[in-house]
A and B are shown apart, each in its own frame.
Chain A
Amino acid sequence: KNEVEQSPQNLTAQEGEFITINCSYSVGISALHWLQQHPGGGIVSLFMLSSGKKKHGRLIATINIQEKHSSLHITASHPRDSAVYICAAETSGSRLTFGEGTQLTVNP
């Protein structure tokens, strides 16, 4: 069993739909990261959170420390949101352990 598990692995949505990607982890963490990787490979850090909820534009990330679970939500999804979304658990020494990623495709 991986230390960080994401679901679903693949997600296809229509433009405008509300999207949720889930992440569960089994290790003790200092923070939980959500990253976005575009087809060219470049990675953008979306959120780093250790409790509660953060919002940036149409993106919302939540974390439940007791349940060791985090979710990434995208409201009013758009084709440009199509990418791989990666959850990563940060442990001691800023070390990141990555989930396998969720391939999101938003169709117009």
Chain B
Amino acid sequence: GAVVSQHPSWVICKSGTSVKIECRSLDFQATTMFWYRQFPKQSLMLMATSNEGSKATYEQGVEKDKFLINHASLTLSTLTVTSAHPEDSSFYICSASLAQETQYFGPGTRLLVL
């Protein structure tokens, strides 16, 4: 199947700093990329949907100024957690899809904010 990578796989940062997470589709061009967040013992929650070259669509309750999403190309989307706080500590997962096809998930990024 298609391969989606995320970088970094884990990150520890101080409160107040910004963290950028990259999501890349390695062997296909993704028209749509999705960002999810998963807290311990909970299911995935969709944060936002991004289409290449356009602004991301955020889910209700997700602050677009705090979670900046850039989908600059068909193979790369970035999520920047700005001014991170301990409550932002979570597991962030991206997925990529091509034209209504199945979603391929990245391996996830564990973020710990101290």
A residues lining the B interface (CB < 8 Å):
33, 35, 40-45, 48, 86, 88, 93-101
Among the listed stretches B19-27, B41-49, B62-70, B72-80, which one makes contact with chain A, having 4 or more residues with CB under 8 Å of it?
B41-49
A45 to B49, Cβ gap below 8 A?
Answer: no
A106 to B36, CA, bound (A): 28
Shortest Cβ distance from B59 into chain A, in angstroms? 9
For the residues of B in contact with A, the DSSP-based class is: strand
For the residues of A in contact with B, the DSSP-based class is: strand
Q: How many A-B residue pairs have CB under 8 A?
A: 50
Shortest Cβ distance from A2 into chain B, in angstroms? 9
Shortest Cβ distance from A84 into chain B, in angstroms? 9
B103 to A96, Cβ gap below 8 A?
Answer: yes
B residues lining the A interface (CB < 8 Å):
1, 32, 34, 38, 42-46, 49, 57, 91, 93, 95, 97, 100, 102-105, 107-108, 110
- Which are the 3 A-B pairs with shortest beta-carbon distances? A43-B105, A41-B108, A98-B43
Question: B2: nearest residue on chain A (CB-CB)?
Answer: A45
Shortest Cβ distance from A1 into chain B, in angstroms? 15
A45 to B44, Cβ gap below 8 A?
Answer: no
Pick from B43, B49, B57 the residue with the most CB of A within 10 Å: B43
